[in-house]
Amino acid sequence: MTRFFSLLRRELLLAVRHGSDTLAAILFFVLTASLFPLAIGPAPETLGRLAPGIVYVCALLAAVLPLDRLFGADLDDGSLDQLLLFGLPAPALALAKATSHWLVTGLPLLLTAGPIAVMLRIGPTALPILLLGLLPATLLLSLLGTVGAAVVLGARRGGVLLPLLVLPLATPVLIFGVAGVDAAAFGQSPRPHLLFLAAMLAAALPLCPLAAGAALRGAAE
């Protein structure tokens, strides 16, 4: 665990030094969500109805932006081989990378989602469900993104392949997240949809690091 937290600390320090990646993701999220009222009109009923889908789609796309650097920078400067020899199993390395991605990208997006949803006129009963669903959703996006970044590591046009790999895998997150908010807005229970997100997160926590670790070992060889 000491080595795991040392690696996590390293990743967070690197993220602070390259803070432009986090800033770019947040600005992309804010600017993209702000374009929808200009395109579909300022009617509160329309915006409130579409707000959950807008927030989830924009958060998904923003979370994909920094994934290209998740392992690519380590591969380019040769530090990936050193990390694999650090004494941690490859899945633990992948889990540390996913955790750092969520802390520097997913968590800021989660905190920004509240004001964006209010700007889009989301209902007061739906807003807490939106934020509650975004917590496992952003964690899932970080785990799935880590797998995608490891799989395309070293591939030609990896930056192009990465969204094509991650976005289809994240589709269930989008579907059940938005469905939970819609259920709350119409007076129904969002519990089944939130539980399904939690179940996907419980399955992804062991499986995604294992898959990413296997991909990392293959790329290193």
pLDDT of residue 123: 85
Helix, strand, coil percent content, the chain, rounded in steps of 5: 85, 0, 15
Cα distance between residue 96 and residue 210, in whole Å: 12
User: Are 121 and 44 in contact, with CB atoms under 8 Å apart?
Assistant: yes
- Show the tokens assigned to 29: 């999220």
Question: Radius of gyration of the chain from Cα atoms?
Answer: 18
pLDDT of residue 76: 67
SS3 call for 90: helix
- Show the tokens assigned to 101: 């991605």
Q: Dump the DSSP string for 111-129.
A: HHHHHHHHHTT--TTHHHH
| Cβ neighbours for 187, distance < 8 A, ≥ 6 positions apart | none
Domain count, the chain: 1
pLDDT of residue 198: 95
pLDDT of residue 179: 93
Cα distance between residue 1 and residue 13, in whole Å: 18
User: Are 52 and 178 in contact, with CB atoms under 8 Å apart?
Assistant: yes
Burial of 5: CB neighbours in 10 Å, binned 0-12, 13-18, 19+: exposed
Mean pLDDT by 10 residues, the chain (221 residues): 79 77 88 89 84 92 84 72 76 88 91 92 90 94 90 73 87 93 90 94 93 81 66
pLDDT of residue 58: 93
Q: Dump the DSSP string for 9-27.
A: HHHHHHHHHTHHHHHHHHH
Neighbouring CB atoms inside 10 A of 105's CB total: 29
pLDDT of residue 163: 85
pLDDT per residue as tens digits for the range 169-209: 999 999 999 999 999 988 899 999 999 999 999 999 999 99
Q: What is the identity of the amino acid at 169?
A: L
Query: Whole domain around residue 123: which residue ranges?
Result: 2-220
